[in-house]
Amino acid sequence: MDNLSEKIKQLRNEYSDSDFLIEHLDKNPVKQFTNWLDDAIETKIYEPNAMVLATSVDNQPRSRYVLFKNIVEDKLIFHTHYESPKALEMLANPNISGIFYWAEIHRQVRFQGIAKKADKTISDEYFSTRPRGGQLSAWASDQSSIIKNREEVTNKIAELDKKFENQEVPRPDFWGGFEIEVNYWEFWQGRRNRTHDRFCYTQNTQGWNIERMSP
């Protein structure tokens, strides 16, 4: 442990000198987010659409990574098993928060909002684009339940593959999308000597108010 502590103390990464000014920001935070996401994609960051999703029920916070998949009417979309812990937690308390972090370009986006089930057409459209293996695994996995071994899932997938042989795999009713209506955005650009540029968007009656925050 002492050796690990010393290794952690030696972790010192410096950021760039890039300026991120308020005039660089789009007035629409969703547009600003898509601009940054596009930069992350063009930089070829591994899974730039990976986001931390945090939920809380009965004062018990939980977080995990999920894959953001689309923006529909300014709402962030991701997909999951509707009987998974995260889905049940969002249905019980729709107030969530999330983070995107792109280390290679020294950027982070934090958000807060309200989550609810997405329209069935959104879920159906995305499910139809998944590889067949991913479609079958959605059917086979009772997400987050305790299993004895991996074969429990792989055997189910084999059975389902035979069941749906020579036909399209339909989307199961227990699997689909969630949409997040974001009401707070925060954009962070790492800079040298920890003089990071940081801006937040908060909603008001006219739209969005943009303010610079201390690093």
Q: Among the options 62, 194, 198, 212, which is catalytic?
A: 194
Count Cα neighbours of 211 within 13 Å in the Cβ-side half-sphere: 7
**SS3 readout for the chain:** CHHHHHHHHCCCCCCCCCCCCHHHCCCCHHHHHHHHHHHHHHCCCCCCCEEEEEEEECCEEEEEEEEEEEEECCEEEEEEECCCHHHHHHHHCCEEEEEEEEHHHCEEEEEEEEEEECCHHHHHHHHHHCCHHHHHHHHHCCCCCCCCCCHHHHHHHHHHHHHCCCCCCCCCCCEEEEEEEEEEEEEEECCHHHCCEEEEEEEECCEEEEEECCC
Has 194 been annotated as catalytic? yes
For residue 97, is it left (φ>0), alpha (ψ between -120 and 50) or beta? beta
**Residues marked as catalytic:** 194
